Chain A
Amino acid sequence: MCLAIPGKILELDSQNPMLALVEVVGVRRKVDLGLLQDEPPVPGDWVLIHVGFAMSKISAADAEDQMRTLMMLGEAEAALQEVRGYGLENEDREHLGQRQPS
């Protein structure tokens, strides 16, 4: 529930600056930056993501630590499934309802 997933900001959304494309171990999804509006991240920054929202900026080394922690906890797959499930893309991802729970 309190999974915090490290991701790298690749680019800001050109139409909505509160959205950014992030990469988490090769999976690319849009996340919401609204909770970091006091200190907006820029491409190349690392953030911790929780339920589709970036909640804090972290260093690259801490991002690596965080991913390793998730792996050690056996939650890396659940984290990736969560990220894959984020539906802020333009494409229709309405098949979400067919997914099994994590």
Chain B
Amino acid sequence: MKYVDEFRTPELIAKAGEEIRKLAGPNRHYRIMEVCGGHTHAIYRFGLKDLMPSNVELIHGPGCPVCVLPMGRIDDGLSLAADPSFIFAAFGDMMRVPGTHGSPLEYKARGMDVRIVYSPADALKLARNNPEKHVIFFAIGFETTAPSTALTLMRAKSEGLHNFSVFCNHVTIIPAIRAILDSPDMRLDGFVGPGHVSTVIGCRPYHWIAQDAGKPVVVSGFEPLDILQSIVMLLRQLRLGEARVENQYKRVVPWEGNRAALRAMAEVFELRPYFEWRGLGFISQSALKIRASYTEWDSEQRFPVPGVRVTDPKAAQCGEVLKGVLKPAQCKLFGRECTPEQPVGALMVSSEGSCAAYYNYEHRKPVTIANAATA
């Protein structure tokens, strides 16, 4: 009953579940994608899937930064860590993600200088405090995180700090959604839009999804009731044959986004012509590159990087799971060779990865609001 007690409003949850069942006409199957990995985590954690009628299917999207990063990028970044004059700094989420020759944490165990930082600003501080070393910050994340890296690079430049550079893996969410919509094996009816990405980019960038692709988008918060309300809003639009962008997370997401953050990104980054995503392949203009005016702080331009392409371990089916073609448990390695303790693929590492979420909350099946209510 643990999670039940934590809900402020169990009656509202039940009501939203009922509303979803009413709105989802029995003659139609609805496939709704939650784009953000944070929503995937919440959906499993709260057992929201169990509240859905059988004809409302929730498909997990690509919004987990460590999950979509191809192994070749990890290998490229770590290839620089072998130099004893370098410090390799990354967020904790990255530390257990496997590269071909081990994760950053395993590199650290082999004696390389690998540090966990909680902010790009702390990587910059490492550079200030270790003038004899070069600090590489291995940057990952969508538009939620990219502005912080941008500001950090602006600070490095204004301070004239030359022993710091960023190995940039920042990606942008809109081209990934476009790639999914263009994928012939993917039929979707609507999107639960990412919450914190939208605090930066606002709601306008989703308009084409409604107008051109004809799919409704509802930007959503992360509480169980937020997610259920967003699904209600999507089903209402679908029932009326509408496709609009709505903002369920108004308390945090301004329609226009955060202009200062967008300015910082525009100052430091430009779009890469293409970038490889795990599972989705190469997507045009889907990632950020450091501008020529910041070349000196771009690890890739400053140091020789092998630029390797690595296919995922043969038996792992991360790509199919990422695209929503396979459910996590349908992968041959799931729960056997690949577990959160011993991950083979990145989707098992991050709490936002659908495999880790499925393993922790579905495979081990805790008591959730849904099954507690019927118990």
Binding site for B on A (CB under 8 A): 1-4, 32, 34-38, 48, 50-53, 55-56, 58-59, 62, 65-66, 68-69, 71-75, 82-83, 85-88, 92, 94, 96-97, 99, 101-102
A52, B122: Cβ atoms closer than 8 Å: yes
Residues of A within 8 A of B92 (CB): 99, 101-102
Known: A34-B151, A73-B45. A50 touches B115 (CB 8 A): no
Q: Of B93, B125, B142, B148, which is within 8 A of A88 by CB? A: B125
Residues of chain B within 8 A of A34, CB atoms compared:
151, 260, 264
Please provide the chain B residues from 92 to 149 with a CB less than 8 Å away from any CB of chain A in the complex. Answer: 92-93, 95-96, 105, 113-122, 125-126, 129, 140-142, 144-145, 147-148
Given A2-B36, A96-B117: 13 more A-B contacts, CB < 8 Å = A1-B352, A2-B145, A2-B194, A4-B144, A32-B119, A36-B260, A50-B145, A51-B148, A53-B119, A56-B199, A56-B254, A69-B221, A75-B351
B149-203 interface with A by 8 A CB criterion? 151, 194-197, 199-200
- CB pair B118–A50 under 8 Å, yes or no, is no
Residues of B within 8 A of A73 (CB): 41-42, 45, 222
Partner among A4, A85, A92, A94 whose Cβ is within 8 Å of the Cβ of B118: A85
Across the interface, name the chain A residue whose C-beta is closest to B105: A101
**A1-B66, A88-B121 are known contacts. Are A55 and B251 too (CB-CB below 8 A)?**
no
Q: In chain B between 270 and 325, which residues have their CB closer than 8 angstroms to a CB of chain A? A: none
| Complex CA–CA separation, A52 to B125 (angstroms) | 12
When chains A and B are docked, how far (Å) is the Cα of A62 from the Cα of B144? 19
Asked if residues A74 and B261 are in contact (CB atoms below 8 Å), the reply is: no
Contact partner of A55 among B41, B141, B147, CB < 8 A?
B147
Residues in B with CB closer than 8 Å to A51 are 91, 118-120, 141, 145, 148
Chain B residue numbers with a CB within 8 Å of A92 are 129
Cα-based distance from A83 to B145 in the complex (angstroms): 16
CA distance in complex: A52, B89 (Å): 15
Q: Min CB distance, B354 to chain A, in Å?
A: 14
Assess the A1–B3 pair: CB atoms within 8 A. Answer: no
Q: Which residues of A contact B116 (CB under 8 A)?
A: 85, 96-97, 99, 101
- CB of B212 closer than 8 Å to a CB of A: no
Residues of A within 8 A of B119 (CB): 32, 51-53, 85-88
Min distance, Cβ B37 to any Cβ of chain A, angstroms:
7
Q: Which one of B105, B118, B254 lies within 8 Å of A86 (CB-CB)?
A: B118
Prevailing SS type, chain A contact patch: mixed
Q: Choose from B6, B63, B115, B221 the contact partner of A71 (Cβ within 8 Å).
A: B6
Contact across chains for B120 and A52 when beta carbons are under 8 A apart: yes
- Say whether A52 contacts B148, CB under 8 Å: yes
Kindly provide the distance from the CB of A50 to the nearest chain B CB, expressed in whole angstroms. Answer: 6
Does residue B77 face the partner (Cβ distance < 8 Å to A)? no
Q: Are A2 and B96 interface neighbours, CB within 8 A?
A: no
Offer 13 A-B interface pairs, CB within 8 angstroms, sorted by A. Answer: A1-B37, A1-B91, A2-B36, A4-B196, A32-B148, A34-B264, A35-B148, A50-B145, A53-B147, A55-B199, A82-B118, A85-B119, A97-B116
Judge whether B65 and A69 touch: CB under 8 Å: no
B64 contacts chain A at the CB level, 8 A cutoff = yes
Q: How far does the alpha carbon of A94 sit from the alpha carbon of B254 in the complex, in Å? A: 37
CA distance A65 to B223 in the complex (A): 9
Q: Known contacts A51-B91, A53-B151, A71-B6: does B129 contact A94 (CB below 8 Å)?
A: yes
B6 partner residues in chain A, CB cutoff 8 A: 68, 71-72
- What is the CA–CA distance of A92 and B128 in the complex, to the nearest angstrom? 12
Q: Is the CB of B251 within 8 A of A58?
A: yes
The reply to whether A87 and B122 form a contact with Cβ atoms under 8 Å apart is: yes
Q: Does B206 contact A (CB under 8 A)?
A: no
Contact B66 A38 (CB under 8 A): no
B259 at the interface (CB under 8 A from A): yes
Residues of A within 8 A of B339 (CB): none
Answer yes or no: B248 CB below 8 A from chain A CBs. no
Contacts of A55 in B (CB 8 A): 144, 147, 196, 199-200, 258, 261
Q: CA of A86 to CA of B126 in the docked complex: distance in angstroms?
A: 12
B39 to nearest A CB, angstroms? 10
Least CB distance from B135 to A in Å reads 12
Task: Tell me if B196 and A50 are in contact (CB < 8 A).
Answer: yes
Do the beta carbons of B251 and A59 come within 8 Å of each other? yes
A96 touches B3 (CB 8 A): no
Chain A residues with Cβ below 8 Å from B96 are 101
